[in-house]
Structure 1
């Protein structure tokens, strides 16, 4: 019988990019990776949020292992600049968590062209070109792992989020397609699909405690998820422990999509 290494993955000497790393799931993932000895690059669109995130992450690591870069994932020029900064600082990437995204909760007739373009630019175009720019850096490391943040809404229709859900379905398919495309370069590509996770986006959608309790009641585990739940899943997919997993989607949803709550 093959022995399975159950030790917590250590990321010592590994370089990982986390886009949208200033809050929520991105920030939690950056913190976890730093605690596991990685060199981490986080991005965000706002300098103030980047500074705040750096201060919070300083408890997990010294400044030498954290690099913050102001970059808008929807701006190809910013992404080119990000790749150059990483190339100058580290020369390579071992992993990417393509996490940057925006929420949009409007019914179909309420969606403007500008709102549609913004969601698609960040959630799909931004993810695609983030990965494209990262490829030479992953090649320089001899391969690596990419994890894309998708959503449970790609598995079940959500009436108030048609454009958001469609953009997440697009990156879910992108993970499968790129998993096939990049396998020969020793680059694995997977996605995670978080369920109801307590983040700024979620509390903006459901600010009242009563609404949050009602949502939690639809989850078989009878609770809302935390950003740390997603961070652990992402770290697993980025680590060598998942070396035979690619082109897959990992639901981190407390059973929301595939099970009904008990009575």
Structure 2
């Protein structure tokens, strides 16, 4: 993928999908800047420039810690709160919206002036299959991620003339630390795999490969798209 020498900010790179994306970008020759609240041992090993960042308490100093231009931005922070609707307090909805939507908005606001300077940039956000496919107990996260999809297409329209592309990856269950409680036994993992037409759950590498495509010049004519990376969950029904 042609991302060599591109300067790309990966927010939420301490583990899971964000860490795998950062690793893949470095391997592909990109200059990666990572940002996260925690710094894992794996992240330390990457040797990237790192910005301590809590997206829930973002101030105006982020832009000052970034280079004078960016070719790409990946926003990976996410949450999984699976409860019956009647047991979901309003605070859970608020937390999901703050992390998934408002955090992304604040980071994008800081990055846009720098993305404009690249004269061709890409932003990748993350959604969930549950935003379109009704799934029990997903009310809070589906609501937040549906807002992410609306944000994606709206910004794609607004910044097309500036040659900044906005796309999102809509994922089904992926093997990450965040999903640990859903996959903490062989039986749970097997059951989750069987729900997907392709017979397995997602890997972080699946998301990383798709993200690299969206960040690269190979996708330069793609914007405002929600790509469903879900093992066929959202579109295929097996007989």
Q: Scaled by the length of structure 2, what TM-score is found?
A: 0.95
Q: Which residue of 2 aligns with 1:38?
A: 30
- 1:67 and 2:49 equivalent? yes
Q: Which residue of 2 aligns with 1:60?
A: none
Q: String of CA shifts for 1:23-54, please: whole Å, max 9, x gaps.
A: 111111000000011111111112xxx14133
What is the RMSD of the two structures over their aligned residues, measured on CA atoms? 1.4
Q: Which residue of 2 aligns with 1:16?
A: 8
Q: Which of these residues, 117, 121, 136, is aligned with residue 98 of structure 2?
A: 121
Number of equivalenced pairs:
239
- 1:52 and 2:41 equivalent? yes
Any idea what SS the aligned residue of 2:55 has? coil
Q: Distance in 2 between matches of 1:43 and 1:72?
A: 9
Q: String of CA shifts for 1:172-220, please: whole Å, max 9, x gaps.
A: 1111111100001110100001112101122223322111101111111
Unaligned runs of 5+ in 1: 1-8, 58-62
Q: Which residue of 1 aligns with 2:126?
A: 149
Q: Distance in 2 between matches of 1:167 and 1:206?
A: 23
Structure 1's consecutive aligned runs of 4 or more residues displaced over 4 angstroms after TM superposition are: none
Q: Scaled by the length of structure 1, what TM-score is found?
A: 0.87
Unaligned runs of 5+ in 2: none
Q: CA deviation at 1:159?
A: 1.4
Q: Which residue of 1 aligns with 2:196?
A: 219
Contact 2:72 2:122 in 1 (8 A): yes
Q: Which residue of 2 aligns with 1:133?
A: 110
